């Protein structure tokens, strides 16, 4: 009888064990393998197309000997579905003048022309300038103008061209030229003043070349001192393109500013005997 009772409890014990295993399984967290992060790069948004499309962003003029002016032409089209206003066109130098309608509203699909003239009298080599176009269409756009000017081997004609360019040396301080030769100088002294007011001709930016008649100050073939620099900065030099920067000549600089320029020039451009002409 006892064995029968024991056997009768076995199914109950099995059921109890299964129940305990089921509860334990429910309370045990399931560990899943880690999921690798998605490293795929999302598609980049397409670049926004500027509504003003140009026939060229750079224009090159091949000058002839004796020419004093280089002419350029840029055509632009509004390729957007709305009107675009070109508010202004700023040349990088006063020797370059832009011609365009003002105000200039371009309807969708409409085209127009910007003309530009660069003064090249007395210059040789590559002369590069830029024009920055501001509009309601988006970021400003930069147009590049390059004039390739041959060297004139005719000495008489070369002297005539230089004389024409030097006829009014002070013109760089007036009109449109003042944007490059006066405004950047305000409030500067010493090296900063030299970089703003002198390098534009003596050490022009990349893409342009120093005009042949403008001396390389690092290769002067004669000794200088502070008095020399003060005089040539203040009064300029007859027969060249060097203007007088002193206010007495219509220039933009005070005596104090000229003094600071002279002090910088003495240190920056010391005389080097190696620059003397070689003699046999």
CATH number at residue 183: 1.10.760.10
pLDDT tens-digit profile of 214-236? 888 888 888 889 999 999 999 99
CA atoms 77, 78, 80, 86: torsion sign: positive
pLDDT tens-digit profile of 30-82? 555 565 555 555 665 667 899 999 999 999 999 998 788 999 999 999 999 99
pLDDT surpasses 60 at 249: yes
Residues 140 and 172 in one domain: no
12 lies in some domain: no
Q: How confident is the model over 15-34, as a mean pLDDT?
A: 52
pLDDT tens-digit profile of 93-128? 778 899 999 989 999 999 999 999 998 876 778 889
121 lies in some domain: yes
Which residues span the domain enclosing 116?
A: 52-149
Q: What is the pTM of this model?
A: 0.55
pLDDT surpasses 80 at 160: no
Residues 201 and 270 in one domain: yes
Tokens of 117: 């003239």
Rounded to whole angstroms, how far apart are CA atoms 192 and 43? 46
Domain count, the chain: 2
At residue 84, the pLDDT reads 97
What's the mean per-residue pLDDT of the chain?
81
Q: How confident is the model over 114-143, as a mean pLDDT?
A: 91
Going through the chain in order, the beta strands assigned E by DSSP cover 52-54, 58-62, 69-78, 84-91, 96-99, 104-106, 111-119, 125-135, 141-149
Banded model confidence at residue 25, pLDDT cuts 50, 70, 90? very low
Residues 106 and 179 in one domain: no
Residues 56 and 132 in one domain: yes
Query: Tokens 């130098």 belong to which residue?
Result: 93
């Amino acid at each position: 009888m006892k064995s029968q009772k024991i056997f009768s409890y076995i199914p109950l014990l099995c059921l109890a064990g299964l129940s305990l295993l089921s509860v334990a399984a429910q309370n045990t967290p399931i560990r899943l393998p880690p999921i690798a992060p998605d490293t795929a790069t999302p598609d980049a948004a397409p670049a926004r197309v500027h509504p003003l499309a140009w026939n060229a962003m750079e224009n090159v003029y091949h000058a002839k000997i004796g020419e004093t002016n280089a002419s350029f032409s840029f055509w632009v089209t509004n390729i957007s579905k709305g009107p675009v206003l070109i508010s202004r066109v700023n040349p990088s130098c006063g020797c370059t003048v832009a011609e365009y309608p003002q105000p200039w509203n371009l309807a969708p699909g409409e085209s127009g022309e910007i003309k530009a003239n660069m003064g090249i009298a007395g210059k040789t080599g590559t002369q590069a300038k830029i024009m920055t176009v501001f509009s309601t269409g988006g970021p400003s756009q930069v147009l590049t103008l390059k004039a390739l000017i041959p060297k004139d081997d005719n000495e008489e004609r070369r002297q005539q061209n230089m004389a024409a360019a030097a006829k009014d040396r002070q013109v760089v301080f007036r009109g449109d030229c003042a944007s490059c030769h006066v405004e950047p100088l305000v409030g500067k002294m010493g090296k900063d003043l030299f970089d703003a007011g002198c390098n534009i001709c003596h050490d022009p930016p990349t893409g342009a070349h120093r005009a042949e008649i403008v001396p390389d100050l690092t290769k002067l073939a004669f000794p200088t001192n502070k008095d020399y620099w003060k005089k040539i900065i203040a009064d300029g030099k007859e027969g060249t393109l060097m203007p007088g920067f002193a206010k007495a000549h219509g220039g933009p600089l005070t005596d104090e500013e000229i003094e600071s320029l002279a002090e910088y020039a003495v240190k920056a451009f010391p005389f080097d005997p190696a620059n003397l002409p070689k003699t046999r």
